[in-house]
Amino acid sequence: MTAVKFLQRYLPILEWGRTYNRSVLADDALAALIVTIMLIPQSLAYALLAGLPMEMGLYASILPLVAYALFGTSRALAVGPVAVVSLMTAASVGNMALQGTAEYAFAAMTLAFLSGLILLATGLFRLGFLANFLSHPVIAGFITASGLLIASSQLKHVLGIPASGHTLVEILHSLASNAADTNPVTLVIGLASIVFLFWVRKGLKPLLRRFGLSDGLCDVLAKAGPVLAVAVTTVVTWGFGLDGKGVAIVGAVPQGLPPVTIPSFDLDLWTSLAGSAVLISIIGFVESVSVAQTLAAKKRQRIVPDQELIGLGASNIASSLTGGYPVTGGFARSVVNFDAGAQTPAAGAFTAVGILLAALLLTPLLYFLPKATLAATIIVAVLSLVDFSILRFTWGYSKADFAAVAATILLTLGFGVEVGMSVGVGLSILLFLYRTSRPHIAEVGCVPGTQHFRNINRHKVLTDPAVLTIRVDESLYFANARYLEDYILDRVVGDEGLRHVILMCSAVNEIDSSALESLEAINHRLQDMGIRLHLSEVKGPVMDRLQRTDFLSELSGEVFLSQYHAMTAMSEVCGKSGKQGKKLVDAAD
């Protein structure tokens, strides 16, 4: 690889940057403006969710976006703090330190650094495929359960009471025991914001369209709903002095550039954060890459998953070095970015400038912003993630998938995000292994007058008592090798008239060493019983491998190109169509 190619591979900006012109810049700048307006309240709200000072949400939305613009391959992905990762940060860092302490913030920065290193290393070693081991239903279940956890965790701000906990039970119990102290003014602000924001989502767009506004403009205005809620409730709180009536406000947010920070290099802290960093990296990457892929496909563009890992890794390291916390590509804001016309990752860099200006200039205006408003924006945003339809769907489609989803949801709600996610992933892998360890095995017979062989339990077929044909609908490997052994020997023991067993291998994509040993054992045991073992329809690559072993020379029977060929060689039952059949088999040779 030449130096130029190397740079082009790891710095995608070198590719799209070359064709950058004024028209693209205008598109990117407009998209950036709209995303900035959306991102300011989000950044504050997610920092609140993560239990961090508000300004850290803003800091996490500045340099990380520039880093992604340099290293990322998606043209539309908008990076920054997101709900689920903020929740996971709170769950992880909450074990190390108390919310509000400097240690807590420091641990969150270190978590971003670790997660960045993990993402970067995974990308450099091209291990992005590991994310494929998360099944979609498990992710869907996890996101739904996280949404519920997040919404319930924000109720305390709407009620104006203290509450804590990392599981649904803990949170609800904590809320219930403090419910008597509910602050009525806070509750009014919170509920009004929630109702308003839901209305903006559902009712505003039709209304605006009736006024003759274009569809795109309606969408953009609807996304500005949170900004309006923030502005109105801030003004009301300031005007009526509601902070004196028990309404919790954001208060002083430091004004200025993001600080330069150095994450901890304490081995103990790294050890305790490592597991969480892995989980955050996985979820962050999966969420991000799904959005990026969906948006890229719409323009027939491609993203490079391993380079995405590098982009996200760089973002998180940038976040940790400038007072931020873990970030990833957000779903809602990326869609807004895309719809608003973003053409290149430069839109992200321009958004960073927007947030930087907000950090420099706007923070004094946020002093009287009620926390209840921020909580309302979080609740409304995450409730759109909650979708139990995956339960109904998987129940009808695949009970194994249903089990994985149900376990993920219940464990996430009952034991927190880390347990829920880990068990969900483990369970979906175990269930897959379990299914392949008990493959579908059919005894087949000849469909009269044809060369086709079908399941004797489903079709009217011809069989010969001296010949047993078994079709295994799965690759043969260690986990199902003994199952096949048991199946065949159970079937054969006591069947005195049997002389031939044919194993029809049309669906066998691989035979590993263990399965080969099992086939050898089956061959020898059948031989001991005076029964010959034959194979039919063995695939090319499988046959190539078998030819490198002694198995074929030890096989008591033969290997036939087709099942029809095999059957006619040792039985008369397919006889009627025998002549025509023979010809066809020749043609297949």
Quickly list DSSP for 526-542.
Answer: HHHTT-EEEEES--HHH
Residues in a beta bridge with 328: 80
Report the nearest approach of a second copy to the CB of residue 356 (Å): 36
Report the nearest approach of a second copy to the CB of residue 398 (Å): 6
Report the nearest approach of a second copy to the CB of residue 132 (Å): 5
Report the nearest approach of a second copy to the CB of residue 482 (Å): 5
Quickly list DSSP for 467-527.
Answer: EEEEEE-S-B-HHHHHHHHHHHHHHHTT-TT--EEEEE-TT---B-HHHHHHHHHHHHHHH
Of the two residues 178 and 398, which places its CB atom closer to a second copy in the complex? 398
d(CA 206, CA 218): 8
CA-based torsion, 330, 336, 337, 342: positive or negative = positive
Q: At which residue do the structure tokens 């650094």 appear?
A: 113
Of the two residues 189 and 295, which places its CB atom closer to a second copy in the complex? 295
Q: Are 477 and 500 within 8 A, CB to CB?
A: no
Of the two residues 339 and 517, which places its CB atom closer to a second copy in the complex? 517
Closest alpha carbon to 67 in 337, 327, 340, 357: 327
Of the two residues 85 and 479, which places its CB atom closer to a second copy in the complex? 479
Of the two residues 215 and 473, which places its CB atom closer to a second copy in the complex? 473
Report the nearest approach of a second copy to the CB of residue 396 (Å): 5
Rounded (10°) CA dihedral 57, 62, 65, 66: -160
Report the nearest approach of a second copy to the CB of residue 58 (Å): 34
Report the nearest approach of a second copy to the CB of residue 66 (Å): 28
Report the nearest approach of a second copy to the CB of residue 479 (Å): 5
Please tell me what DSSP assigns to residue 258: P
Of the two residues 247 and 533, which places its CB atom closer to a second copy in the complex? 533
Of the two residues 72 and 81, which places its CB atom closer to a second copy in the complex? 72
d(CA 22, CA 31): 14
Which contacts qualify for 577-580: CB closer than 8 Å, 24 or more apart? 577/448, 577/449, 577/450, 577/451
* Per-residue burial over 137-164, b = 16 or more CB atoms within 10 Å of its CB, e = otherwise: bbbbbbbbbbbbbbbbbbbbbbbbbebe
Of the two residues 199 and 397, which places its CB atom closer to a second copy in the complex? 397
